[in-house]
Amino acid sequence: MQDPPTSYSRQGRSSLPAGPIKIRIEQLHKQFNAMPVLRGVDLDVPEGCLYGLIGPGASGKSVLLKMISGLMRPEHGRVLVEGRDVHAMTELDLATFRLKFGMLFQNNALFDYMTVGENIAFPLRRLFDLSEDEIAARVADRLKVVSLPGYEDRMPSGLSGGQKKRVGVARATVTQGEIVLYDEPAAGLDPVTSQRIFELLRAEQRAAGSTVIMVSSDLDRLLTVTDRVGMLYRGRLIFDGTTAEAKSSDDPRVKQFVHGLTEGPL
């Protein structure tokens, strides 16, 4: 198969990331119990882009994120990160490759039996060989960034939903991954906390220059921070464009979804 092109052909907006393609998805197929979920998804995410992935419930957004990080295998198709096929790597290569990633899962699984500090330190301990002082410093820094300074010794069971989400954000960004995948980072939070989380993630992404894919059903807030947007529908990516293009799309499915209209084809 052809090598991916090394640069991204942008569509006329100079402020948008137009670097090399960081993540390329080619013809991904996945089904569960003979029910197709992804039926040939193609997608390019340029380096340094905050990409918003949208689509109705059960359209395969979480499945797609798991495939990008190598956690779930497709039946067909490829995921290329910096041109390398994620699902063709050896276990050892995959372990090294995962150093590039941070991930916040939709169910936000903090380990209940670990303190907040240990939860955040977990990927650091697993992936790097750092001194205890270094780990403590990085954890403290992350807690400060998510406005929970000094929370190291708390237990997750004693935190509110929003505080747990913020600990999840701290954990997803502690390894300073070049790529961070966020699945519903603000679901179930009050509007003010949600907005803060989106702004925090955007600021973190800008500061680190990382490539981010963010799934959220809170479209109003999501679209305030995205560079590009893709919409999954019935197993395919039916839209891919800039945030402005998503907002002004004439595709009745995109229009209905983005503007939250009850009348329409969905």
| Min dist. Cβ of residue 215 to Mg ion (A) | 6
Residue 32 contacts ligand ATP per CB under 6 A: yes
CB 80 within 8 A of CB 86: yes
**Residue listed under structure tokens 């992936």:** 127
| Min dist. Cβ of residue 55 to Mg ion (A) | 9
Residue 260 contacts ligand ATP per CB under 6 A: no
57 binds, among ligand ATP, Mg ion, none (CB under 5 to 8 A by kind): ligand ATP
- Which of residues 37 and 124 has its CB atom nearest to Mg ion in the complex? 37
- CA angle 215-164-58, nearest 5°? 30
d(CA 186, CA 182): 10
d(CA 163, CA 147): 9
**Binding characters for ligand ATP, 75-94, by CB under 6 A (x = yes):** --------------------
- Which of residues 109 and 244 has its CB atom nearest to Mg ion in the complex? 109
Backbone angles phi, psi at 212, to 5 degrees: -125, 135
200 binds, among ligand ATP, Mg ion, none (CB under 5 to 8 A by kind): none
| Closest residue by beta carbon to Mg ion | 62
| Residue of 26, 54, 62, 64 that binds Mg ion (CB under 5 A) | 62
d(CA 206, CA 219): 20
d(CA 135, CA 121): 7
CA atoms within 13 A on the CB side of 13: 10
* Residues of this chain that bind Mg ion (CB under 5 A): 61-62, 106
* Residues of this chain that bind ligand ATP (CB under 6 A): 32, 37, 55, 57-63, 106, 217
